[in-house]
Structure 1
């Protein structure tokens, strides 16, 4: 659960009525909560498909779960790691970390939180069945977990592993006494949804909302800077951009995320509305099926007959499709300036960002030449699948890309689906080409190398979100060298090399990085987060 950071450690974007831009400056502390209890109403654009905090590694699921459950290590709005349920973490040898837990923490049913709950959690994470996007990658570096005493853990790794704290910052802790034997459905019903966070589970209704009530026994409530003024939180899922904006303007909700780009100019001028924005860490990308060597669904020749081999196995085809895309046009026209074009998956300044990789210039003629060289002089037919309610501008982006591909001879149609239908089909390799997004909450290049383009291996925990089954053993080896390197400079050099290797192989096609935005009532302010999380805990009164 991302909680407010003590005032001297909080980084906040500049916020004014109608506009907020991330500047990296230290912010003033939040206004002290008044004695008046109040309900907060939030509407998010994404769909929460489960309340099991280990079922699906997707931002909407994690944002909702963060009100009830907490992590050992939290991240602030800029991604810096801060104490959560763990007060400290340190290596005691090259392969062993010691973690000291926060004393006096209780679960919402009054049972004390202990190291045994962490042991249970870390064992549960990779075993959650039917996950469309597992959290298993975040425990892949753990060989053994030992509860030394109720407030001390020792975690053994197979070798030097400096990324362990970052991995732990991605995992919610659940209780053994409520979670042992519980299924995903038991969390969604509330039966097992007993956390340590500032809010208790009230209800979860798919495609509608979640409800929370304040937990006054929360360990952070004793600090005035962290205490929650909201007695209750209504957390609604409103996929329609227009409906989300209308709900804010009508007073039906107090906060919305994923502010529609078409509405931003009007909302900035509205004195009743406050906008908060910051550069995000989510890259929107396209990748191609690599799970089949022969016929691929939704790919045919121009007469509608299946192709005898997978065209995406040829790097020339992948490069042709990549360089046919005008990324600047997508960012400026389709996304209306709410995204920045990119040729890689992190913004400048991030750990592992490779400066030599620039935004590819559109080259339709070069794309046609590569298709001819690959044996497709007349192109082929293709369906691009996309969600239509998960990311800002997702279906519009897919339509624009389809037009660009059609111009080089790859006749492309788009099938845009609600996220609840898109996600499980994508996880089963139902699509030939898919548009999706990945948020690197770790703030470095490694999470995508493990989760999206790492070879799928359930036992190793790699490729958990690699729905297309791309595999490059040389890239896996380079990534693992980086993750086992203790020296920061050497590790970043290896990550940059991995970014170059992935780019050379067109492992996937990055399009643009989203700029995260929220809109609130003018008397509220939201601390904009690089990880795009939407939390009641980050909403403060402006006066």
Structure 2
């Protein structure tokens, strides 16, 4: 398909995409019988078969990245981790902050917050949870610049231990969104004693948290198994076992759901929604997300994408509405910003809009000195996001229409993530980010001069200044305007080209109750048997 698309006219590609939405080629996939499928999965879902064991099996398009909660920024990994680790505070379905490992908190002064910790909590290995664990966890991510989550926690200067169940978090500046930071990826509490005694490598092989489910086994790129934690401090876990399966192929993931091999399948192609709803024993669930699909462009000196007219040409060559309509069956919204409605600091003028203009894109290339077009390297995931492979192929065809010859490298998530962390992509890569803080600050964490180095190599002193000021600004009206100004600058300079906000599609067994969350988390104890 990839080679054919590169040489097809855009109209033909769009027609093919629309046909794929209406009639999926995956529908003809041969599927094993339910009992055979159950045996293949290794764990009977939902009821647990004859054993009486209550097992919840969830299939995603990719495996988790790691058990290092500080060295990834992957929502689908966090969606699994939330069952094993607890935060100091957590967000409910309405994104309101609630107590978790901290029972109460207060602002002592502009740079100090005091938290009372829950008593009687133990890690899965029996170690008690204390203030020392909070200090160890947050200071690690706040001080190690090599960690991917460092940029979201460098605001913390230190964690003071007042007593075994009281801590004070001291920030470098006033911190308007500290609670948001503490309720998301990177803030799961780690067992300091266990890690200091056994070492980090041992923890990564046998991770320990305080959550309702504890680690049993991880077969990379296949499945992760957790079992209930009978010593959990909260409500009794609802399931005996959780199985998270990595199934990159859409057709296989859907087949597993239809034949009873899994209870929930994530990232269901739009073309399979009707099929799942009409199948006896399954239904679909769809909900909005905070996830935006984007292109990251290199502005490194000497690259063709360093030229602002080339970046603008790439932007104008892409018809985001056509992607949403033809690939996602309308399950998304074109956007020129990552700060979508519902996030603090959103700029409405950049949402639900597109600049698609292929003729102008051709002119821009000529003005940039490339009348015969350009060649670029384009990397994208295959199986990580909903219809990511098809989206990348359609973008490749759209770019070809204006003279941008994109060499497309489709990667499984594990390979893509390795390249991402090493910052070894060529001129352009496609990735989708969510916003777990629901705040403008997280949307631009990779666009400061410091964080962009080696990735986009974007550097704008005005953007750096605005983001630094907004980060500590307790005047919410001023702070919102600062983020709105950043969005306008980024939309003009295009180190990132934002394309569309995504909806999430799930396939669900009729045996269970499941409602999608806006943050895409998969809290097992919010999922119940009927």
Deviations 1:279-302 (A, max 9, x none): 100100001123x312xxxxxxxx
Instruction: Indicate which of 169, 189, 195 corresponds to 1:179.
Output: 195
The match for 2:322 among 310, 319, 329 is: 329
8 Å contact from structure 1 (residues 55, 184) kept in 2: no
**Measured at CA, do residues 56 and 128 of structure 1 come closer, stay the same or move farther in structure 2, by a change above 3 Å?**
farther
Alpha-carbon distance, 1:339 to partner: 2.0
Q: CA deviation at 1:49?
A: 2.6
Counterpart check, 1:146 vs 2:160: yes
Are residues 1:443 and 2:438 paired? yes
Match of 2:38 in 1: none
Question: Judging changes above 3 Å, is the alpha-carbon distance between structure 1 residues 532 and 474 closer, same or farther for their aligned structure 2 residues?
Answer: same
Shift of 1:194: 1.4
Contact 1:211-1:235 at 8 Å conserved across structures? yes
In structure 2, C-alpha distance between the alignment counterparts of 1:439 and 1:122, rounded to whole Å:
22
Aligned ranges for residues 10-25 of structure 1 at < 5 Å?
A: none
Does the Cα contact within 8 Å between 2:290 and 2:518 map onto a contact in 1? yes
Between stretches 352-361 and 211-220, larger displacement belongs to 352-361
Report the TM-score, using the length of structure 2 for normalisation. 0.86
What corresponds to 1:380 in structure 2?
Answer: 374
User: 2:89 maps to which residue?
Assistant: 73
- Per-residue Cα deviation, 1:291-320 (whole angstroms, up to 9, x for no partner): x312xxxxxxxxxxxxxxx22222211111
The CA distance in 2 between the partners of 1:80 and 1:526, in whole Å, is: 20
Structure-2 residue corresponding to 1:233: 242
| Runs of at least 5 residues in structure 1 that lack an aligned partner in the other structure | 1-35, 222-226, 295-309, 457-461
1: CA distance between counterparts of 2:198 and 2:306?
Answer: 41
What TM-score, normalized by structure 1, do the two folds share? Answer: 0.84
- Structure 2: where are the runs of 5+ without partners? 1-51
Deviations 1:247-304 (A, max 9, x none): 11111111111122221121123341132221100100001123x312xxxxxxxxxx
| Residue pairs, 1:260-275, within 5 angstroms | 260-275=269-284
3-state SS of 1:330 partner: helix
TM-superposed CA distance for 1:455, in Å, is 2.2
- CA distance in structure 2 between the partners assigned to 1:84 and 1:527 by the alignment: 22
Listed one character per residue, the Cα deviations across residues 459-504 of structure 1 (whole Å, up to 9, x for unaligned) are: xxx459x733322221111011111111222211211111112112
* Alpha-carbon contact 1:68-1:199 (below 8 Å) kept: yes
Range that drifts further, 486-495 or 195-204:
486-495
Q: Is the 8 A contact 2:282 2:507 kept in 1?
A: yes
Displacement after TM superposition at 1:126 (Å): 5.2
Distance 1:129 1:255 in 2: 37
Q: Deviations over 1:32-91 (max 9, x none)?
A: xxxx75111111122213222223121222122222111112122343322111122332
Query: Which structure features the higher share of helix residues?
Result: 2
In structure 1, C-alpha distance between the alignment counterparts of 2:455 and 2:101, rounded to whole Å: 32
1:198 to 194, 212, 217: 212
Partner of 1:293: 301
Residue 184 of structure 1 and its aligned partner are, at CA, apart by 5.2
Kept after mapping to 2: 8 A contact 1:516/1:529: no
Q: 1:230 aligns to what SS in structure 2?
A: coil
**Distance in structure 2 (CA, Å) of the matches to 1:213 and 1:273:** 25
Per-residue deviation, 1:322:
0.4
Which residue of 2 is the match for residue 58 of structure 1?
A: 74
Poorly superposed stretches of 4+, deviation over 4 Å: 126-131, 181-184
Residues 1:381 and 1:181: Cα distance change in structure 2 (over 3 Å): farther
